[in-house]
Amino acid sequence: MINIRPFASLGHADHGWLNARHHFSFADYHDPERMGWGAIRVWNDDEIAPNTGFPPHPHMNMEIVTYVREGAITHGDSLGNKGRTAAGDVQVMSAGDGIRHSEFNLEPVKTSLFQIWIIPDERGGTPRWDQREFPREQANGAWTLLASQHGGDGTLMIRADARVWGAKAGTGQHLHYTANPARHLYLVSHAAPVRINGQLAQPRDGIAITDEAELQVEVLGDTELVLVDAI
């Protein structure tokens, strides 16, 4: 089953400094048919104006993965962590039993990112934050594992039975993914249309997938893709 959710149908909130699209119910956007996808609870497509951002605010019991598409995001938290995550790179935060953090675009240009929240396998635990550079040239035409339950081998760790993949691909390239039909997958292409098992999706559409054993993704323009495979 492949369900394409057009970008125009997503929840929308324009705060001036923040232009946000919500793939699932979030904040003032509520759709009982889009409360999440398996363990994937939030997928926000955010555009943040220069020299603005989110002041300190709390989180609990959530794995938060941020994939930066353009610009950069600067993080600070109540544990004392600080870091700047630039385009093509990823940060993760395990909120555990409670953490406060801020996220600011301190760049002179717009920052755009996907922020993905995944329900952890267990509640509580010590909060943690990490980031990693994933050079775009190394991800050309193939999936790169960005975050997973056990981390290691250059990937980031999350406390959830999930894998977060990224890819950079161009016109005419094909990406293959072997899936477990019992799991929930969600795919978004940033800048170009794709065909997934023959179905056409436009840039920034949400593609919800389950009951599929194989994914064949045909890329119809230069783009970056993010795929989450979760229970």
Domain containing 78 equals 2-124+140-230
pLDDT at position 131? 97
Cβ pair 169, 223 in contact under 8 A? yes
CATH number, domain with residue 221: 2.60.120.10
With respect to residue 210, please indicate whether it lies within any of the assigned structural domains. Answer: yes
With respect to residue 101, please indicate whether it lies within any of the assigned structural domains. Answer: yes
At residue 136 the predicted structure's pLDDT band, cuts being 50, 70 and 90, is confident
At residue 138 the predicted structure's pLDDT band, cuts being 50, 70 and 90, is low
Distance between CA atoms of 81 and 60, rounded to whole angstroms? Answer: 17
Cβ pair 164, 65 in contact under 8 A? yes
- How crowded is the C-beta side of 81, counted as CA atoms within 13 Å? 22
What is the percent of the chain with per-residue pLDDT over 90, rounded to a whole number?
95
Dihedral, CA of residue 135, residue 84, residue 150 and residue 60, to nearest 10: -150
pLDDT at position 139? 64
Neighbours of 199 (CB within 10 A): 11
With respect to residue 130, please indicate whether it lies within any of the assigned structural domains. Answer: no
Residue 113's closest CA among 31, 54, 38?
A: 54
The domain tally of the chain equals 1
Helix residue ranges, H only, 65-193: none
With respect to residue 132, please indicate whether it lies within any of the assigned structural domains. Answer: no
Residues in Cβ contact with 205 at an 8 Å cutoff, skipping those fewer than 6 apart:
4, 5, 6, 7, 188, 189
With respect to residue 116, please indicate whether it lies within any of the assigned structural domains. Answer: yes
User: Which pTM value belongs to this model?
Assistant: 0.97
pLDDT at position 180? 98
Cβ pair 33, 15 in contact under 8 A? no
With respect to residue 213, please indicate whether it lies within any of the assigned structural domains. Answer: yes
With respect to residue 193, please indicate whether it lies within any of the assigned structural domains. Answer: yes
